[in-house]
Structure 1
Amino acid sequence: MPVINTQSGTSVDEIADHIFRISTPVPPSVMPGGFTFNQYLIADDRPFLYHSGPRRLFAMVSEAVAHVLPLSTLAYVGFSHVEADECGSLNDFLRAAPQAVPVCGRIAAMVSIGDLADRAPLSMADGDLLELGHHRLQWFEMPHLPHGWENVTVFDQTSNTLLCGDLFTQPGHEPAPITEQDILEPSEAFRLEMDYYAHAPDTRQMLTRLARLHPSTLACMHGSAWVGKGDALLLELAERVSPG
């Protein structure tokens, strides 16, 4: 795991074809049990950063991006929902990358980002596609899954990677960059402790829809990325959070 910043522990790892996990640990002395904040950078003709990280991590995350490609070449900064760790340093990235465009779901664009962002956002409706060059991203509206009316989930059709945001959040500050080990049990233990899900009535239906994509890589925002039969794991999560 290449550590880019020895002071913060921020690291960069390629977890799928030209998809890089940027991860900054939060030690147990700051948060009991430790934690991680992850962003995902897709290096392509039009580079895409998914989740900016909070403002206080901008220096570390931008340094990590620059380790892979020139920061000024970013074309898009996207995110799942409006929260500090998803888009807190959005405007910092827009200043550093003059051609970059915020990209988010239509609800986030309408109720928040159209006002908060320094540049007008690209608003993505359910099913919309974003072509990066080699990679092709599809947007899925997932309101309140796990939280936030404006929440979306993004699927890279090229690498079969689901950018799944706060789904499968795992605690700990030293997880492997990518794993085939079980992430459901630790993520469920964390969910039951924090109860950060909205428990929307159509949660099962939305998770089933994501399972039909048959993702082979889950790019989790907190903890390890995961490889395996993503459809089975998503359906197992559906049983846990919305029993039939």
Structure 2
Amino acid sequence: METKIDEIAPDVFRISTVVPEVAPGGFGFNQFLVRDEEPFLFHTGMRQLYPLVSDAIGRILPLQDLRWISFAHVEADECGAMNLLLRDAPRAEVVHGALACMVSLNDLADRPPHVIGDETLDLGSRRLRFLPTPHVPHNWESGLWYDETNELLFAGDLLTQIGDGPALTSDDIVESALRAEEIFHSTALSADLAPTLERLAQLQPTTLAVMHGSSFQGNGATALRALASGYAAAAADQA
């Protein structure tokens, strides 16, 4: 396996490892590192990927300089290497919403996590805002981050695609994401899904940093609303 690094926005780096056996054409596991005065990592990857991911981080900035670690929800591919990073980055803290900290992270993290609320997380030259998204696309404690400086949404599992596509594309990724949903059935088709996607669309993001597959540059609101329409059609088919 090869781990690739691509800068998808100024000082925002996508670290991507494609695992061949997960899906036809492979399945990418992406982390996103924001280089700033207080560097921020979104997703840690699984423990088994830690040698590759930590090496990639070290090619962007000294690993010990990492300050913040976060992820959308508690799953191995999102936070499996959390404590390995806390071990090797002595200044780092896990940061997440109150629910994730109460339910899981106060116990799982080797250092107490930092609870984020309505305040922004100041990295130095940019500010990130935590967006609770319970059960979207899944997990009660789920939450995403929005980089207000770059108009970039760290979208987590939303818009997941299979295969090894480009790091960043302006092409439509919604159709590919809906095909992936037909394979994995990973999205909770609940009453909260469409309102949450609309709330994210109203941010008018111009970049969507996607955990599995290509990230998207363009009209993020249009992409999120198209995704909501696709999910609505899928839910109607299941009714």
Does TM, normalized by the shorter one, top 0.5? yes
Shift of 1:242: 3.0
Per-residue CA deviations over 1:210-237 (Å, capped at 9, x if unaligned) read 0010000000000111100001111111
User: Which residue of 167, 173, 177 maps to 1:187?
Assistant: 177
| Maintained 8 Å contact 1:203/1:242 | no
> Which structure 2 segments of 5+ residues have no match?
none
Shift of 1:41: 0.1
For 1:175 and 1:81, locate their aligned partners in 2 and report how far apart those are by CA, in whole Å. 24
Partner residue, 1:9: 2
Q: Closer, same or farther in 2 for the Cα pair 1:31/1:189, shift >3 Å?
A: closer
> Which structure 1 segments of 5+ residues have no match?
1-7
Percent identity between the aligned chains?
46
TM normalised by structure 2 equals 0.95
Partner residue, 2:127: 136
Q: Secondary structure at the match of 1:242?
A: helix
Q: Secondary structure at the match of 2:131?
A: strand
The within-5 A match list for 1:138-157 is 138-157=129-148
What is the root-mean-square deviation of aligned Cα atoms in Å?
1.2
Q: Which runs of 4+ in 1 moved over 4 A?
A: none
Partner residue, 1:122: 114
Per-residue CA deviations over 1:138-196 (Å, capped at 9, x if unaligned) read 01110010000000011000111100000000000x21111111110111011022110
User: Which residue of 29, 35, 44 maps to 1:43?
Assistant: 35
| Maintained 8 Å contact 1:55/1:89 | yes
Partner residue, 2:72: 80
The within-5 A match list for 1:1-244 is 8-27=1-20, 29=21, 31-125=23-117, 127-172=118-163, 174-242=164-232
Shift of 1:128: 3.1
| Maintained 8 Å contact 2:23/2:162 | no
Shift of 1:109: 0.5
For 2:143 and 2:232, locate their aligned partners in 1 and report how far apart those are by CA, in whole Å. 19
Aligned length: 234
> Which amino acid in the other structure matches residue 2 of structure 2?
G
- Pick the structure with more helix per residue: 2
| Maintained 8 Å contact 1:144/1:199 | no
> Which amino acid in the other structure matches residue 110 of structure 1?
M
> Which amino acid in the other structure matches residue 169 of structure 1?
T
Per-residue CA deviations over 1:101-149 (Å, capped at 9, x if unaligned) read 0011211100000000000101123x33100001110011100100000
